[in-house]
Structure 1
Amino acid sequence: MATLGASPAAPPPWSLLCALVALAALWFTWRVLEWAWLSPRRVGRALRAQGLRGTAYRFPSGDLPEEVRLLAAEVAKPMPLLSHDISARVAPLLYKGVKDHGKVSMGWEGPTPRVILNDPKLVREVLSNKFGHFKISQLPANFIKMVANGLANHEGEKWVVHRKIINPAFHVEKLKKMLPAFTSCTSELIKRWEDLVESGKGREIDVWPELQDLTGDAISRAAFGSSLSEGRRIFRIQSEQVQLATHMSKTSLYIPGYTYLPTTLNRRVKANSREVEELLKGIITKKERAMKNGHADDDDTDMLGLLMMSNMKESQESGSSKPMMTIDDIVGELKIFYFAGMDTTSVTLTWTMIMLSMHPEWQERARDEVLQVFGNKQPDHNGVNQLKVVTMVLYEVLRLYPPFTFLARQPHKEVELGGVTYPPGVQLFLPILTIHHDPDVWGKDVNEFKPARFAEGVSKASKDGAGFFPFGWGPRRCIGQNFALLEAKVALSMILQRFSFELSPSYTHAPFRVASLQPDHGAQIMLKKI
C-alpha cells in the first residue's frame, strides 16, 4: 500500500524512449503520406480545375507501370524498315498522352506531377527562362555524382561561373585547332574499314560500335591531347557507366534509396566512378605541372588545357586566391563532356549512315558536294562551312532521330505558363521527339526524310521557325553543339569520299532510347570502296 502523500514514481526510461520512437514514426508516416498521397491529389485537383486533362494519380508509382507495359508492347512489335514514324515506339507514354489528352496534358512520374508541353512556343518560353522561374529537373544525386556532374546540372551563380570559364574552349578559333584530331581519328577508322572491304565487293559492318569508338577517340584527343591512352580508357568506362547508371536510375524510381544499396550493379558503377576520377585527376595534375613549368601557352589546343588556362585567367581577374573551379569541378565537367559528347556525335553519325542507306539519292547528293568541295583531300574548316547539302542531311537526321528525346524543367516558385498556373515541384516535360514529329509544326510529310526542308536554314524549316530543339534552346543550349556538328561533318565527308553504302539484309530498324536514341540491334551496313 502506497504511503499517503508520497510523490508518484518517475516513468522508466524505456517508456520515454518508446514515446519518442512513436512520435518519430508518426512524423515519418505523415511525411510519407503527404509526399505519396495528399500532395499529389491536391496538385492534381488544382491542375484539373484549370482545364488540364490527363491521367489520374495512381498510388504510389503513378504512370510508371503503364509506361513499362506500353514500352514492352512497342518493342515486341516489328517496325517497318523504311519508317521514320518512331514516336509511338520510342516514347509510347508521351505519344499516348498527347494523342489522348492534347498538346498540354498531365501525367505522373511516381507521385510527381508531370506536365507534357508539346507546344514549341511554350517550350521556348520555358527554355528561355527569361525571368528565372525555371530550374533543371535533376537526376538522382548519386547518378549525377557518378556519371554527369557538370555544367548541365548546375544552377545559379555556379552555372554562370562555369559557363564563362568553359566558353573559350568552344570558340570557333579553338575548334579549328581541334579539327586535326577529328581527321586523324577518322583516317584511322577508314584505314581499318578499307582493310576489311575487298575491292569490288561489299562487306557488312556494324557501324554503331565503330562510330562510338571513333567519337570516343576524337573526344580523347580533343580533350587530352597527348594523354590519349588514359582518354581512351575513360571513354570505355564512361560508355559502360551510361548503360549501367541508366538502368540503375530506372530501378531507383520504384525503390527509393536503391542507388545506395550494396548491389553488384551499384558496386560496379561506384568502382567505375572512382577509376574515372583517379584517371582524370592524374591527367589534370600532369597538365598543372606542365603549365607551372612553362610547357603550356595560349596556343594549347586540347580541351583540358584551354579549360585550365581559362580557369586561371578568370580566377586572377576576379582577385580570388583560389581557383574559381576546383579540381573536383574540372573532373565533373570532363565527365559530362564524355557523357554528352561521346553519344551525341556517334548516334547522329550512325543514324545518318542508316538514313543515307535508306535514301541513296541523298547519299549521292551529299557525296557529290563533298567531292566538289574537297576532292580527295582531307576536310578543312573553310570547306566544312561550304557544305550545304551535308548540313541539311544532318539537320534532318537530328530532327527525325534527336540524340536526346526530351528535356525537363521545374518551376522553383509558382508560375503562369500558357494560361495555367503551376506550383513548385511540378515537372514540365519538354518532348523534343514528339515536337520534331508533329505534323502541325512540320507539315503532313513530317515523318518523311526530306533534308530539303532545311534548304533555307533552321528558321524557315518549321512553322514559325520554332520547332527544332536537338541541342536544347536558350541560355542553356548545349555548349558542345558546334563541336559535335564539326566532328560529324568531318567524319561523314571522309566516309563519303571513300565508301558507298547500303543497308545490310540483317539490319533491323529498331530505334530505342537508352541515355540517347540508339539502334537497338546495331546498324549493319554494307560498305563498298569507291
Structure 2
Amino acid sequence: MEVYLVLKMISSMVLVGLLGFLLYIYNSVWLKSERVRKKLRVQGIRGPPPSFLYGNLPEMQRIQLQAMKAPTHHTDNEFVAHDYTSTLFPYFEQWRKEYGLIYTYSTGMRQHMYINQPELVKELNQCITLDLGKPSYVTKRLAPMLGNGILRSNGHLWAQQRKIVAPEFFMDKVKGMVGIMVQSAQPLLRKWEECIESQSQRGMAAEIKVDEDLRGVSADVISRACFGSSYSKGKQIFSKLRCLQHTISQHGFLFGVSNFGSFPMRRKQNEINSLEREIESLIWEAVKERREQEISDTSSSSSSGKDLLQLILEGAINDHTLGEHSSKQFIVDNCKNIYFAGYESTAIAISWCLMLLALHPEWQARIRSEFSQICPDGVPDANSLPQLKAVTMVVQEVLRLYPPAAFVSREAFEDTQIGNVVVPKGVCVWTLIPTLHRDPDIWGPDANEFKPERFAEGVSKACKSPQGYIPFGLGARLCLGKNLAMVELKVVVSMIVSRFAFSLSPKYRHCPAYRMIVEPGRGVHILIQRANAKEDHSN
C-alpha cells in the first residue's frame, strides 16, 4: 500500500511538472510569438497560420516534398528553365502568391517577415543601424564555417572587422590585382588547350566539367591577392572548407530544421567538429609561416606592400581588448571568412556564366570580337576592363538570373522601423534575391529570359527600380568583395571566351542546388574547342 502511494505521488509530481512545463512553454514562448504576430497583423501583414510548437515548418516540408515530386526540367541544349525558385524555395513562391510581396511566417517559435516589395527593399538598403544584423540562429549554425568573422558577426565587432577588411577591396586596390587574376587564369587556359589537343586527334571537341578548375582559379586569386601565397599552399584549406560547406548545408541550417539528437545527426556533428579543428589548424600554420617570413623579410614592413593577412594580424595585435586566445581566434575566423567568401561565390558565378554563354554562342562571338579589338595581345589590364562592355553586360545578366547568394537576411535586435513597417524585436527579415530579380513588374515580361542587352546603359536603365537588382546584397552589409568579384569575373570570362568556343554537353543536367549558395547541382559540362578552329570550320 505504501509503495502504491509513493508511486502515485511520484506520478502526480511528474504530471504536475509536465503541465507546468507546458504552461511555461505556452506563456513564455507561444504567447510571446503570438504577441509579435499581432504587432505585424495590425500593420496589415499576414501569412500562413502557424501550428503550436512547430510554426509553419510542417507546411514548408509538405510543400517542399510536393515540389520534389514534380517533373524536373532538364536541358536539351536549347532551352533551360531559369526560374528555379519554385523548386528550391516553393513555400516562398506559394505564400507570395497567396499573401503578396510582404508576409509573415514562423519556424518553430521564431517569427519571420518576407519582403520583396521594392520600396521596402530600398528602405532596408538605407538602414544603417546596428540594431539589424545577421540572424543569430543562422550564424550559430554557420559558426564552424565562419567563426565570429566579418560574415557572421554583428554590432561593434562587425564594424571593427569591416574597418580592417573593407579597404583591401576598394577599387583602387582591386585594379592592382588584375595581373594576379591573369596569372591565375593562364594555367587553366593551358590545361583546356591540352585537353582539346588530345581530343582533336579523334576529331572531337573536348568535354570538360568546369567547376573544380574554376574553383582552382578563384582560390589562387584570393590566395595570392590576400594571403601572399599560391593556391597549392592553401589547397587543403579550400578542400576542407568545401566539405564543411556541404555537411552543414545538408541539415537545414537556414530554418533550423534538423534531426537533433538522432544518431546520424550526432555523427554529422562530430564530422563538422573534426573539419572545423583541421581547418583552423591549417590556417594557423599558414599564419605562423607568414609571421616567420615577415621577420626574415624586412621589406614587408612597407605599408604599401601589406596584404589582407598582414592587416588582419595588425588589427588583432592593436586591439587591446583581445587576449591571446581571442586574438588568435580573431585572425583564424577572418581568414576562414575570406578564404570561403573569396573563392566559392566567384567560382560558382563563372560556372553559371559559361553555362549561359554555352546556350548563347552569339554572345560568345560579341565578347570575343570586342576583346580582340581592345586587348589585341590577349591580356586584359585595369585600363582595358571598363571598355569591355559585352562581357560586363553578360556578367550583370548572369548575376541577375543566378545570384550566388539567394537571400538577404536580417534580425531585428530591437524594434526597428523599415519604411512604414515597424519590425518587432526578434523578427528575422528575408528578401529572396532571385524572386526580386525576376519580377516582371521590375524587369518586364522577359524577366526570365537571358538578355544581357538590358544592361547596355547600366543597372539604372535596366529595370524600373534599381533597388530590384541586389546580387551582392544591400545596405551597410553589402558584400565587401563586390569589386573583386566583378573584376575577376570579367577577366576570367573574357580570357576563356577569347580562346575557346563551347556548347553544353549532353551530360549537363540543369538542377540548381542550394548549398549555402545557389550552385549547379551536378556541375557544368561543356564541349569546348579553340575559337579559331570554330571560325575556320564555319568558313
Cα displacement string for residues 145-196 of structure 1 (whole angstroms, at most 9, x for unaligned residues): 3101311222222122111111232233432343333222211111111111
Find the partner of 1:112 among 110, 113, 122: 110
Cα 1:255–1:59, aligned 2, differ >3 Å: closer, same or farther?
Answer: farther
Higher deviation after alignment, 373-382 or 438-447: 373-382
Higher deviation after alignment, 487-496 or 262-271: 262-271
Query: What's the secondary structure of 1:429's corresponding residue?
Result: strand
**1:208: Cα distance to partner?**
2.2
Q: Is the 8 A contact 1:407 1:432 kept in 2?
A: yes
Match for residue 214 of structure 2?
Answer: 211
Match for residue 444 of structure 1?
Answer: 445
Structure 1: unaligned runs, 5 residues or longer: 1-16
**1:272: Cα distance to partner?**
0.8
Q: Is the 8 A contact 1:216 1:235 kept in 2?
A: yes
Residue identity opposite 1:303 in structure 2:
L
Query: What's the secondary structure of 1:385's corresponding residue?
Result: helix
Cα 1:20–1:310, aligned 2, differ >3 Å: closer, same or farther?
Answer: same
Match for residue 460 of structure 1?
Answer: 461
Match for residue 389 of structure 1?
Answer: 390
Matches within 5 A, 1:114-133: 114-133=112-131
Find the partner of 1:40 among 33, 39, 52: 33
Match for residue 157 of structure 1?
Answer: 156
Find the partner of 2:72 among 59, 73, 78: 78
Separation (CA, whole Å) in 1 of partners of 2:210 and 2:177? 24
Q: Does 1:305 align with 2:299?
A: no
**1:139: Cα distance to partner?**
4.2
**1:109: Cα distance to partner?**
2.0
Separation (CA, whole Å) in 2 of partners of 1:109 and 1:142? 16
Residue identity opposite 1:71 in structure 2:
Q
Q: Percent identity?
A: 33
**1:333: Cα distance to partner?**
1.1
Higher deviation after alignment, 253-262 or 326-335: 253-262
Cα displacement string for residues 403-423 of structure 1 (whole angstroms, at most 9, x for unaligned residues): 011111122222344444332
Q: Does 1:410 align with 2:404?
A: no
**1:67: Cα distance to partner?**
2.7
Higher deviation after alignment, 269-278 or 138-147: 138-147
Cα 1:129–1:18, aligned 2, differ >3 Å: closer, same or farther?
Answer: farther
Residue identity opposite 2:58 in structure 1:
P
Superposed CA RMSD: 3.1
Query: What's the secondary structure of 1:528's corresponding residue?
Result: strand
- For normalisation by structure 2, the TM-score amounts to 0.86
Matches within 5 A, 1:187-266: 187-198=186-197, 199=200, 201-226=204-229, 228-250=231-253, 253-255=256-258, 263-266=266-269
Cα displacement string for residues 191-222 of structure 1 (whole angstroms, at most 9, x for unaligned residues): 11111113463122111232223222332333
Match for residue 94 of structure 1?
Answer: 92
Q: Is the 8 A contact 1:407 1:429 kept in 2?
A: yes
Query: What's the secondary structure of 1:180's corresponding residue?
Result: helix
The number of residue pairs the alignment matches comes to 513
Cα 1:144–1:366, aligned 2, differ >3 Å: closer, same or farther?
Answer: same
Q: Is the 8 A contact 1:311 1:324 kept in 2?
A: no
Query: What's the secondary structure of 1:147's corresponding residue?
Result: helix
Cα 1:122–1:83, aligned 2, differ >3 Å: closer, same or farther?
Answer: same
Separation (CA, whole Å) in 2 of partners of 1:177 and 1:311? 26
Cα displacement string for residues 41-69 of structure 1 (whole angstroms, at most 9, x for unaligned residues): 33334423332231001233223333333
Match for residue 519 of structure 1?
Answer: 520
Residue identity opposite 1:359 in structure 2:
H
Separation (CA, whole Å) in 2 of partners of 1:484 and 1:437? 22
Separation (CA, whole Å) in 2 of partners of 1:412 and 1:362? 46
**1:301: Cα distance to partner?**
5.8
Residue identity opposite 1:102 in structure 2:
G
Q: Is the 8 A contact 1:412 1:424 kept in 2?
A: yes
Separation (CA, whole Å) in 2 of partners of 1:31 and 1:203? 65
Query: What's the secondary structure of 1:152's corresponding residue?
Result: coil
Structure 2: unaligned runs, 5 residues or longer: 1-9, 532-539
Separation (CA, whole Å) in 1 of partners of 2:285 and 2:235? 14
Query: What's the secondary structure of 1:421's corresponding residue?
Result: strand
Match for residue 346 of structure 1?
Answer: 347
Match for residue 138 of structure 1?
Answer: 136
**1:393: Cα distance to partner?**
0.7
Higher deviation after alignment, 197-206 or 471-480: 197-206
Separation (CA, whole Å) in 2 of partners of 1:79 and 1:157? 46
Separation (CA, whole Å) in 1 of partners of 2:270 and 2:232? 25
Q: Does 1:276 align with 2:279?
A: yes
**1:323: Cα distance to partner?**
9.4
Q: Is the 8 A contact 1:227 1:283 kept in 2?
A: no
Query: What's the secondary structure of 2:229's corresponding residue?
Result: coil
Q: Does 1:335 align with 2:336?
A: yes
Cα 1:178–1:101, aligned 2, differ >3 Å: closer, same or farther?
Answer: same
Cα 1:497–1:306, aligned 2, differ >3 Å: closer, same or farther?
Answer: farther
Cα 1:511–1:144, aligned 2, differ >3 Å: closer, same or farther?
Answer: closer
Cα displacement string for residues 277-313 of structure 1 (whole angstroms, at most 9, x for unaligned residues): 111111112222333444423343643134335666x
Higher deviation after alignment, 238-247 or 88-97: 88-97
Separation (CA, whole Å) in 2 of partners of 1:20 and 1:294? 72
Cα 1:414–1:379, aligned 2, differ >3 Å: closer, same or farther?
Answer: same
Cα 1:96–1:320, aligned 2, differ >3 Å: closer, same or farther?
Answer: closer
Cα 1:71–1:362, aligned 2, differ >3 Å: closer, same or farther?
Answer: farther
Query: What's the secondary structure of 1:403's corresponding residue?
Result: coil
Separation (CA, whole Å) in 2 of partners of 1:49 and 1:194? 63
Query: What's the secondary structure of 2:41's corresponding residue?
Result: helix
Cα 1:55–1:487, aligned 2, differ >3 Å: closer, same or farther?
Answer: same
Q: Is the 8 A contact 2:169 2:484 kept in 1?
A: yes
- For normalisation by structure 1, the TM-score amounts to 0.88
Cα displacement string for residues 475-525 of structure 1 (whole angstroms, at most 9, x for unaligned residues): 211111111112111111111121001111222222221211111222111
Residue identity opposite 2:424 in structure 1:
P
Residue identity opposite 1:407 in structure 2:
V
Cα 1:258–1:209, aligned 2, differ >3 Å: closer, same or farther?
Answer: farther
**1:381: Cα distance to partner?**
1.5
